Copies of this chain bind each other. A is one copy, B any other.
């Protein structure tokens, strides 16, 4: 086996790699709290240099550094995305150990950021080291793109993609989201939905009034409610004029891919403590909606007085935050344009729409080089085919990174986490075994990215002959 030597190197350095991860996890790089960001950026840059990556640091305004690095050579070029910042720790008392103690217990490394995504960052760097030590040199050109603002919505990265598109031109992109699901099946995503995040505002009197004026003074809260109610139906269907006509039909390839996905509906309903899904969907209808359905989610509404204590006021303003998850062929511009028109023709010209931010979708074919390399390597390392999401229902800057060229750079994403990783909660953790497997997985991906491609191996994987003979276990999508 060609990877025997590689795997032996990884196993022999398990302790060293784990210590490097612990070292990184002990640095409290909470972007939202601006803690230790300079120190970790330096450490990450040194870690990259240590495995032979030539680095450059970019700062956009007062943002946290983007560490760009190149290594390897070869006719094909790939972007490896990562981030060094972590989520806020939340309630300290909810943690069994300090969130930056990087304690290892029962084979699990506990730390804020272990799963999201320092484990992935170190695994990718460890794989580069192991590959070079065992194969001699990298067979492809790698462009590392490591940011520090994942928790802030990646403002610097968006600027970077506009200012340095030449540094992001690539034959594929490897993202760092993904996890093994409740049935231990690894989940690979070949794209992410886009998003546009809006605030709708309605205005009334110049300050909150005594609610006795409710008879005659316009109430912006009612105004907003009446406007919102026209945007979706009581059954949760988006009813913005013309909206559905912009949603691309699902391709045959994707339709086939959907058939291989199952959601553990009962387990998820228990976890969320809900009685049923929207429109009582189930089975394939549910999966199709979850992966290819656009959304219009009320993320928040605020108006008037809502704290403890009775206070009967007529509010002066009302605001709602909506996020739309974008599927092919929806764009932020289309959504905002349609919504404005929809509100205007219904007499809601007074409702202000403020664009808080947006990200384009990213979606690649399962036939792309990066997708094949990841899917095939996952099957080899884990001994079972991955669940392949044609598009992850979440969103991020991936569409901006992959959108610097036309056609967009294909993307594939997987991560070191598992179903119990709790990436945004207390006791975030990864399993050391998963971490080691992740290094081995990245090594194989590196190798396959350079391989001449002859047979359509993904198609083979998806063909009838290669389906598992036992029914595919039900799975739940990664929650990261």
Contact = CB atoms under 8 A, between A and B. Distances in A.
Contact of A295 (B32, B195, B211, B290): B211
Interface stretch (A1-9, A68-76, A97-105, A225-233): A225-233
A305 interface: yes
A348 B236 CA distance: 14
Contacts of A323: 211, 214, 312
Contact of A274 (B215, B217, B392): B217
A299 B274 CA distance: 29
Contact of A222 (B209, B277, B298, B347): B298
Contacts of A212: 193, 295, 325, 392-395
A297 B314 contact: yes
B299 A315 contact: yes
Given A215-B290, A302-B302, A236 B222 contact: yes
A442 interface: no
A356 interface: yes
A304 B222 CA distance: 18
A407 interface: no
Interface in A164-219: 193, 195, 197, 204-206, 209-219
A458 interface: no
A155 to B, nearest CB: 10
Contact of A321 (B193, B274, B305): B305
Report whether over half of chain A's contact residues are helix, strand or loop; otherwise say mixed. mixed
A151 to B, nearest CB: 10
Given A306-B301, A312-B299, A325 B215 contact: yes
A310 B322 CA distance: 11
A334 interface: no
B226 A272 contact: no
| Copies of this chain per assembly | 2
Contacts of A221: 298-301
Contacts of A301: 221, 225, 301-304, 306, 318
B272 A393 contact: no
Given A225-B228, A234-B347, A214 B297 contact: yes
B197 A289 contact: no
A156 to B, nearest CB: 15
B219 A236 contact: yes
A262 interface: no
Nearest to A393: B212
Interface in A269-300: 272-274, 276-278, 281, 286, 289-290, 293, 295-300
A153 interface: yes
Nearest to A314: B297
A313 interface: yes
A458 B276 CA distance: 65
A357 interface: yes
A32 B393 CA distance: 47
A8 B395 CA distance: 80
A479 interface: yes
A384 interface: no
A479 B210 contact: yes
A445 interface: no
A153 B392 CA distance: 51
Nearest to A480: B210
Contact of A215 (B314, B356, B393): B393
B298 A321 contact: no
A311 interface: yes
Contacts of A215: 278, 289-290, 293, 295, 325, 393
A185 to B, nearest CB: 19
Contacts of A314: 297, 299
26 contacts: A197-B310, A205-B272, A206-B272, A211-B297, A212-B325, A212-B393, A212-B395, A214-B323, A215-B290, A215-B295, A216-B286, A217-B272, A217-B277, A221-B298, A222-B236, A225-B225, A225-B229, A228-B229, A234-B347, A298-B303, A300-B304, A300-B305, A300-B311, A301-B303, A304-B321, A306-B321
Given A193-B212, A214-B325, 5 more contacts: A211-B299, A214-B296, A217-B274, A299-B315, A300-B306
